[in-house]
Every structure is written in C-alpha cells, then in structure tokens.
Structure 1
Amino acid sequence: MSSPFSTFLRALRLRSGMRQHELAKLLGYEQAYVSAIELGAKPPSEEFMGKLDRGLSLNERDNLEMRQAAEQSRRRFVLPADVPTETYLLCHELWEKIDRLYPAQIRALRELVRIDELLTDEPTYGPARLRRRRLKEDAEM
C-alpha cells in the first residue's frame, strides 16, 4: 500500500515528466531508494525532502503539501505521558487490529475522530422564539 507521501511523490514526479532514475540522479540518490519511497516501503528523510524541494524548485503550495504528506505518513507515534488510561487502551486496541480493518471501518473511525471539526462547521441554532399567548379577551373567536 502507498502512503500519502508516496502518492504525493509519484504525482509530483509524473507532473515533472521524470522517470524514477532521472529524479534519483537529480537528487543524488539511487533509483532503488526513490522507488522504495514511492512504494511506501521507506519514509522520506528530511534530507530527501530538502533535496526534492531544491531540485524541483517546489512552490510554497507544493512544499506545504509535501510536508503535510510526510506528517500523515508517519509510522511511529509517542503518546504524551499524561494521557488517560483510556487513550492507551484505545491506541493498543487500534494497533492490534490495524491491518484487519475494513475500509468502511477506517472511514467511520476517521469521521468519528474529526467530529469536533464537523460540529464547528455546522451552524448553531438557538431555541425557537416563543410567541406570547394572547389574552383571552384578545383572542378571536
């Protein structure tokens, strides 16, 4: 499977009209290393991203997208020491099943994690305005 960074790198390389060996030569790497990154087998190093930025003269948007894709492709995470026990248990359970989750489960989990963002995008509605009752003598019959 490909990582967000490998997808980004392949698209960037193809958009630049280069083959893997050409990109590798431009950046000073072996073609096998570029291939391993594009396949998601290896993560990109900071050095690689710097050379990619300079070698292809990335614009600000592409550089930001590259950094974001690298962050999204991280494989190792460290929990802060002060998280609740439930957080440890959640991470452990997720890790135990990570390679057996169905795509629908992954989509559902991602939406659940982002629910706070979704809620802030929705307008909040105040209580409906209540109409004052008319007095009996004002009521039409």
Structure 2
Amino acid sequence: MESGPSAELIRAQLRRLRMKAGLSQEEFGKLVHFSGSHISSIELGQRPFDRLFLKRADEVLDSGELLITLLKMAEREGQPSWLRPWLDAERDAQLLWCYHPTLIPGLLQIENYARTVIRADDMLSDDEVERRVAVRMDRQAVLGRPQPPKLVTVIEETVLRRADESFRGIMAQQIAHLLECAERSHISVHVVPAEISTHVGLAGPFTLARSEGGEWVGHLENQLGGTSIDKDEDVASLVARWESVRSEALPRRQSIELMKEVMTSWS
C-alpha cells in the first residue's frame, strides 16, 4: 500500500508513535534496521511501506499492533465491492459451511499453498500476490477468536492427491495442517472419496454463513470474483446442495484416516 487516505493515516500514526517514544528518525531506523533517511522517506510518502516493516515498527514502538491493525482495515476497505458483504458475513458467522471441488478452502490454506494457488494467475504482480496472500491469512483469524464459528468443510480426495513432485512438499504440509485443524473441536473436515464420480457440488465452490441471529448468507466463487447470496429461495437452494454434497462425504474420523493414507502413500 503506497497511496490514498488510509496510507496517509498509517504514516501519520507511525510518525506520532515514533515521536511519542522520543525517537529520532535515525534512532528509530536503527531499531527497525533502516536508515534515518529511509524512515523519513516512508513518513513523507516518498517510499512505500509493507507488512513486515509495520510489524517490526509495532514491536519497537510497543503500539499494541496498531499499525498492522490499520493496514488490515485499509486492505479490507480496498477489497472489491462484490466481496465486502461476504467478508462481513464471514466475520460475524457462528456457523460456516464450505465446499470446494478443486482447491483446499481458503480458511484452511497454509501460506505456501495459498501463495502457489494465487501465483497461478500470471497477470498478478509479485506485490499483488503477496497482498492477496496476506489478506487470505488475515481472514483465518476468525477461526482463532475466543468464540470461533463452527466450520464444516467438504473437499475432494482428488484435490488431496493433486501433487506432482514439485508440489508434493507443499501439499504434504497442507494436509498436515488439515489434520491439525480437524482435531479442533470447532472444525470438521470431510472428504468426498474419489470413487464418487458425480454429485451436485461439482458445479462450483460455495460457502454458507449463519449469523447469531440465524440469518444465512451464501457466497459463490467464479473466475472473475464472486457473488453474495441472501435471497431466501437462493439460500435455500444452496443449503439443499450443501446437504447433498455433505451426504457424499466420509464421516469425520474416516476423512482423517484418508488424509493420513494420502500422505503415507507418498513416502
């Protein structure tokens, strides 16, 4: 993030925190491993800042992660209009149902897997890839809050086994992460075995979120972005599709054993 009102706010807070700490630009620069002139350029908007710099600045200035929090808010505001309603629903959900026919769902992706998947779009710059990875990782914080939502995911066995030699190391880490997640009381991972060749879910990925008040919102992904669904009849259709997909998947414990078997087959 380099320009705009949010970036200016972050620079202003950085400058305020540094001065409150009684540090010159040179002194602060030494603590975050930059020159004083580099710090000056960042505060003046002549150089960009990144997440790693702000994280280090928060640590040095003992700011309670203020700068990183402001960055997350700015990134959220910078999301496309079609995604914002879903981000609100996801953040406030008490229950999340997620199915994806070709990928590990984003809420359960490890950073290296997410980066590899996002980088497959060769139209994205390296900076944009890293920004999207960071946003995806930040969204996973919903699963670590004091009262997290119940997350139920359904994935395909073929997704677990899609790993050539160059991708197998990342996939092994990803499945290990899925196994760790599946042991948490509020997360269930279910696998549709490969012998189930057709079912309604193969038409595309979707997620459903239910709020504390019982309202449902759905989200459909596509090549150009996604669509939030809140009409009663459309939500009801997605719930019916979810029930159909979920019925094809293995129970929780059998799914865990299948994931372990996939990893064992590689070694």
How high is the TM-score relative to the length of structure 2? 0.25
Q: Which one has the bigger strand percentage?
A: 2
Q: Which has the higher contact order (CA 8 A, sep 6+)?
A: 1
| Largest Rg, 1 or 2 | 1
